[in-house]
Amino acid sequence: MHSLWQGKAPIYEALQNYQSMRVVPFDVPGHKQGRGNPELVKFLGQQCLSVDVNSMKPLDNLVHPVSVIKEAEELAADAFGADHAFFMVNGTTAAVQAMIMSVCKQGEKVIMPRNVHRSAINALIISGAIPVYVNPGVNKQLGIPLGMSVDDVKRAIEENPDAKAIFVNNPTYYGICSDLKTITELAHSHNMYVLVDEAHGTHFYFGSDLPVNAMAVGADMSAVSMHKTGGSLTQSSFLLKSDRLSTGHVRQTINLTQTTSGSYLLLSSLDISRRNLALDGKNIFNKVSSLANYARDEINKIGGYYAFSKELINGDSVFDFDHTKLSVYTREIGLAGIEVYDILRDDYGIQIELGDIANILAIISVGDRELALERLVSSLSEIKRLYTKDKSGMLDHEYINPDVIMTPQQAFYSPQRSVELKESDGHICAEFVMSYPPGIPILAPGERITDEIIDYISYAKAKGCFLTGTEDMSVKSIKVLEEK
């Protein structure tokens, strides 16, 4: 399987070596191995502060790796089956932006589903690339966006033969996968690159009986959030690429936005996590799968909830499903997902990943235990008993097809004014509105605001969703384009 010996962790080993040398620091960071900030040492520990160091010869340099980081990149590429792997310390956001910016220049088109993470649309604002949105299918009952259907992708390619790339979520936040292999073959036959957002797909590379990963189907680049399900520290990620793109060019693009002070805490966490998964990922994720399947079965026995899984597969817009995602539909008990989310946290001390207006999502990963899942199941059972109410009057859609008037960049940099959200119908939006998590825009710059969208935002706010993206922190007003 792996051509390199995966038992090494070069960055981690170099840091251990650095510690043993007892170097006197006259470089940054200024806390000098923690001596300048005793409160932080007390909070995070001496071990942590002593390796929060700057790039230096024995530790290599993330911007221009020639030794230990280079070796760690080669091991990561081998573990993920990629031609090259870049260590990312600005989050998967930076990886998504590097993917788009390395293949699309200003005025060039990229085909993408509209239910992308805001980082992809931000990449368009920065680069001036033009989105060709493929509206994802929608599951009417659950109110969730699905994957892209192959026919819709074909149509987008035929109508935009000059597009440079196709961008695909694998999986979506809820665990839904498009037919990545067919889409990749289609794109390549039309000389387009395939860029894959695998923020939630780290485990696809190491588990068994999971949806196919981007590198295995020959996609050109993939952004993988190692911190989400792979065990590394928050904000650490991998950008994987195939040999259809120049490593040097992609690195230069990454270096446009990635910090020159790469954190060795983040880098070593990626190195150690990659080693763990390469050596034992199959067992780790088999355990994760069985925990998620156990919890799903138990939740479905409660009644009133619907923990969905592979039965949604339809061979197209739901080509496959990531069964490690514990997504649960809650509207049958008369509660929005966000209401269940709040009750779980406030009354039961359980923090799940997200609640939206119809579903909750619990992330099951390398660090979960059976006991914790039993507690989640029994809490949901009790919530049903205590809080069930009439479901009439509940809003039922999660995804509204947008009316795109202009490119995100054009809208973002146009003259703007602020209007009350309730009076914004018909205006063109100049900023984002999204519920976080997952950070998928309800509105993005350049889209027409409609009454339906205003109702949705008001409903989400009333139910307690955390709305972000607007300059107005209370989301009462919204920036719109000045009419000519």
The topology (CATH level 3) of 408-481 is: Ornithine Decarboxylase; Chain A, domain 4 (3.90.100)
Cis upstream peptide for 171 (omega within 30°)? yes
Q: What is the pLDDT of residue 140?
A: 85
Mean pLDDT, rounded, of the chain: 95
Condensed to tens digits (0 to 9), the pLDDT of residues 173-208 reads 999 999 999 999 999 999 999 999 999 999 999 999
Under 8 Å between Cβ of 92 and 119: yes
C-alpha 397/C-alpha 401 separation (Å) is: 11
**Partners of 409 in the beta sheet?**
none
Confidence of residue 267 (pLDDT cuts 50, 70, 90): very high
Interacting residues of 477 by C-beta distance below 8 A, sequence separation 6+: 418, 419, 420, 421, 470
Q: Please list the alpha-helical segments (H only) found in 52-149.
A: 68-80, 91-103, 118-127
Q: Please list the alpha-helical segments (H only) found in 202-263.
A: 226-229, 247-257
Q: Please list the alpha-helical segments (H only) found in 365-475.
A: 370-387, 408-412, 451-463
484 has a pLDDT exceeding 70: no
Q: Is 417 helix (H, G, I), strand (E, B) or coil?
A: strand
Class at the top of the CATH hierarchy for domain 283-387: alpha beta
Identical fold between 283-387 and 408-481: no
**Where do the domains of the chain lie?**
283-387, 408-481
399 has a pLDDT exceeding 80: no
| Strand pairing class (193-198; 84-88) | unpaired
Q: Is the pTM of this model over 0.85?
A: yes
Could you list the beta-strand ranges (E) of 78-209. Answer: 84-88, 109-113, 130-134, 138-139, 144-145, 165-169, 176-177, 193-198
Confidence of residue 155 (pLDDT cuts 50, 70, 90): very high
Condensed to tens digits (0 to 9), the pLDDT of residues 5-27 reads 999 999 999 999 999 998 999 99
75 has a pLDDT exceeding 90: yes
